[in-house]
Chain A
Amino acid sequence: MISKRRFGALVAAGAALAAATVVAACGGGGGVGGADTSGITVAKGGPASGSVLISNWPGYVDPGANGTVAQFDQQTGLKTTYKEDVNDNNTFFNKLKPELDQGSSGGRSLFVVTDWMAKRMYELGYLQQINHADLPTVFQNILPQFEKSTEDPGRKYSIPWQGGQTGIWVDTSKAPEIHSVADLFNPKYKGKVTMLTEMTDTVPLVLQSMGKDPDTATKDDWLAAIDKLKAARDSGQIRQFTGNDYTEDLTSGNIVAALGWSGDGSLIGNPNAEWRRPTDGCDLFFDQAVIPVGAPNTPAAYAFLNFVYTPANAAKITDYVQYVTPVNGVRPILQKEDPKVANDPKIFPTEQEIAPCSADPLPAGGPQDVADVEAAFQEVVSG
């Protein structure tokens, strides 16, 4: 059901690469690549009407005839076009960037990206601020632990959509003794292990396995972790860096363990596959709903967020998506309707469990440092 990242990303990547040069021709002539952060506006509220375009990751809501989007339209009289065209944070960003530079969002009034990308977009002036008064249901129901955010302390521009944990998927019939990220480097599993192409998932977990806290790690720590990955790649220990498609490798028995996302269980057709929170680390990412510059229908964006933060509607989403919900009151509803989901610690982790988790942080330092680390990581993944 959840098919985040990668597959569609490749299709989009091809299209974006083809479009890139044309786009450069249209918009890139001026020499300035970003917007001005001083001109950030607050998204306008008020009664919602008309039509609205929302972009999200695939499988992040039930878009069917009786699904969340359809019910939203029914209840509000709005006409929502819901596009599942976010497959990869960076790819989505780079595809949209030329339009954002011109102050347009390609017609989108709301989209969902991971915390660090939301922060990057905000700092580049691509997002509007959110007026809390227009989101009464959201702030009434948001769970306190998810209202907090290291990236966006005052919830100025981002509202949590769904979250999940990055950890280890293990084929218990073949490698029951893998419990930590460090175990993935055991030569016994040479060529039978994959890691993720998303830097902010893979590197923080490796850092933690090396005894470093990703939130305080220095640039050199990051580069040391990347060196460790490079050595493991060169030796053939790491078979591949993947997006979602590690689920296929687990299904067809190509690998015995993989770094992967907690909500991907429905994609893995292997009864022996089990998700484990690493004993040497923890990563909790949250995807954030944001309102971009040039959003044509901001009242509708607010209305949609209020709608999905109503516990009954949020429960429906969680039941379908099986990721971590930021909405209070979902668990009691599911305990009645779907106890299996309600009692799944991957979907409802305790506060103690997630307290030590890092949250997909970017490397320390300024933009040049981040770019250096990103380049070093990509050199391992695609060099």
Chain B
Amino acid sequence: MSEKQRSTKALGRRLIPYGLLAPGAIWLIVFFLIPLYFMGEMSLRSGIPNTPQGFTFSWEFSNYTDALAGRGPQIVRTFEYAGAATIIALLIAYPLAYAIALKVHPRWRLPLLFAVIAPFFTTYLIRTVAWETILADDSPIVSILKSLQIIPNDGRLLATSGAVIAGLTYNFLPFMILPIYASLERVDTSLIEAGKDLYASARQAFLKVTLPLTMPGVIAGVLLTFIPASGDYINAEFLGGANNTMIGNKIQSTYLEQSDYPKAAALSFLMMAVVLTIVFIYIRAAGTEAFVGSEEEAR
């Protein structure tokens, strides 16, 4: 092999990582960064909706303050719903993933995992609409809850905040279960046994060995649930009432009903900023190591 051939080959090898990154990077640039730029530009335009003049760029920062004005309760509500759905999903998902990964006979794992993702075979919208029937005022579930005095006699489930949170939890549950399952499944059970050999109780072994080893899965699951849940508007639209709307509903109607593109863009940006801040704080608190997993855990 000549010197030249060798150097071309070395160059080629150095380029491989970039080649592998390229499809994703191009995708992100074309479908995320460029639209993001135009959305930012749109959010600083001014004008009257539905006029021939349209919107012109004018550094209209007041779009941001206007978009926020009076929006406080709805923003709080949005993160309350998303936060509650995330916590409930975590409480359901961890024991379930634990049982599938470590407790049941291995031959049951595949059917159980299939059951977890089975709802995905139906579209998101249809599943949510189906919940309207399940939670309807005259449905058996509501009658049972009424006879148990869990909800008052003149109460209801549909068109309440509870219904929105339940819908969010249900729709995003698989995103919580799968990462937790993946990290539980990788846990080396001999480490747990070693803990027990060192006189750890089952509880201690879980808290000191299993849980820390599966933190990357928990954190990934929380992010995969919380982020889409806080931007969701389908659940609030179908399962919520007139007083249960989320920011997503507002963005949707500002854009598509009011044709007020600058304000819709400003509100989307603000929403993105808030979610990014929350995620950033969360990752800092949890530690990046827990997020990406350390060398040790990866093995």
Give A residues with C-beta under 8 Å from B: 7, 10-11, 13-14, 16-17, 20-22, 24-25, 28-29, 31-37, 88, 90-91, 93-95, 97, 120, 123-125, 191, 197, 233-234, 236, 238-241, 245, 248, 252-254, 367-368, 370-371, 374-375, 378-383
Is B252 touching A382 in the complex (CB atoms < 8 A)?
A: yes
Chain B residues near A379 (CB-CB < 8 A): 70
Give the secondary structure class of A's interface.
helix
A to B CB contacts below 8 Å, 12 in the list = A10-B237, A16-B256, A21-B36, A25-B37, A90-B258, A94-B256, A124-B51, A252-B133, A254-B138, A367-B50, A382-B245, A383-B250
List 9 extra interface pairs beyond A241-B242, A253-B136, CB under 8 A: A10-B234, A21-B39, A32-B53, A33-B53, A33-B54, A34-B51, A37-B52, A245-B238, A253-B137
- Docked pose: A185 CA to B220 CA in angstroms: 47
Q: 1/0 per position for B119-145, CB-CB distance to A under 8 A?
A: 000000100010011001111000000
- Docked pose: A98 CA to B248 CA in angstroms: 22
- Docked pose: A37 CA to B136 CA in angstroms: 49
Query: How close is A204's CB to chain B, nearest CB, in angstroms?
Result: 17
- Docked pose: A367 CA to B250 CA in angstroms: 21
- Docked pose: A8 CA to B70 CA in angstroms: 30
Query: How close is B234's CB to chain A, nearest CB, in angstroms?
Result: 7
Is A36 touching B138 in the complex (CB atoms < 8 A)?
A: no
Is B258 touching A378 in the complex (CB atoms < 8 A)?
A: yes
- Docked pose: A90 CA to B238 CA in angstroms: 19
Chain B residues near A13 (CB-CB < 8 A): 252, 256
Chain A residues near B38 (CB-CB < 8 A): 21, 24-25, 28-29
Chain B residues near A29 (CB-CB < 8 A): 38
Chain A residues near B98 (CB-CB < 8 A): none
B254 (CB) vs chain A CBs: closest residue? A378
- Docked pose: A36 CA to B52 CA in angstroms: 7
- Docked pose: A16 CA to B251 CA in angstroms: 12
Is B255 touching A383 in the complex (CB atoms < 8 A)?
A: no
Chain A residues near B111 (CB-CB < 8 A): none
Is A252 touching B137 in the complex (CB atoms < 8 A)?
A: yes
Summed over the interface, the residue pairs from A and B with CB atoms below 8 Å come to a total of: 146
- Kindly state whether residue B168 has any CB partner on chain A within 8 Å: no
- Kindly state whether residue B209 has any CB partner on chain A within 8 Å: no
- Docked pose: A25 CA to B30 CA in angstroms: 10
Query: How close is B264's CB to chain A, nearest CB, in angstroms?
Result: 8
Is B259 touching A28 in the complex (CB atoms < 8 A)?
A: no
- A31-B56, A33-B54 known; A94-B254 Cβ under 8 A: no
Query: How close is A16's CB to chain B, nearest CB, in angstroms?
Result: 6
The residue that A239 contacts in the complex, of B52, B55, B242, B259, with Cβ under 8 A, is B242
Interface size class of B (residues with CB under 8 A): 35 or more
Which of B41-49, B177-185, B221-229, B281-289 is the contact stretch?
A: B41-49
- Kindly state whether residue B31 has any CB partner on chain A within 8 Å: yes
Is B47 touching A381 in the complex (CB atoms < 8 A)?
A: no
Is B50 touching A371 in the complex (CB atoms < 8 A)?
A: yes
Is B48 touching A367 in the complex (CB atoms < 8 A)?
A: yes
Interface set, chain B 233-264, CB cutoff 8 A to A: 234, 237-238, 240-243, 245, 249-261
- Docked pose: A383 CA to B258 CA in angstroms: 13
Chain A residues near B125 (CB-CB < 8 A): 10-11
Chain A residues near B238 (CB-CB < 8 A): 245
- Docked pose: A17 CA to B39 CA in angstroms: 11
- Docked pose: A374 CA to B258 CA in angstroms: 6
The residue that B243 contacts in the complex, of A36, A94, A233, A374, with Cβ under 8 A, is A233
- Docked pose: A376 CA to B241 CA in angstroms: 18
The residue that A28 contacts in the complex, of B42, B138, B237, B240, with Cβ under 8 A, is B42
Is B252 touching A370 in the complex (CB atoms < 8 A)?
A: no
- Kindly state whether residue B108 has any CB partner on chain A within 8 Å: no
Is B234 touching A33 in the complex (CB atoms < 8 A)?
A: no
Is A24 touching B234 in the complex (CB atoms < 8 A)?
A: no
- Kindly state whether residue B176 has any CB partner on chain A within 8 Å: no
Chain B residues near A241 (CB-CB < 8 A): 242
- Kindly state whether residue B165 has any CB partner on chain A within 8 Å: no
Interface set, chain B 1-60, CB cutoff 8 A to A: 31, 34-39, 41-42, 45, 47-57
A366 (CB) vs chain B CBs: closest residue? B48
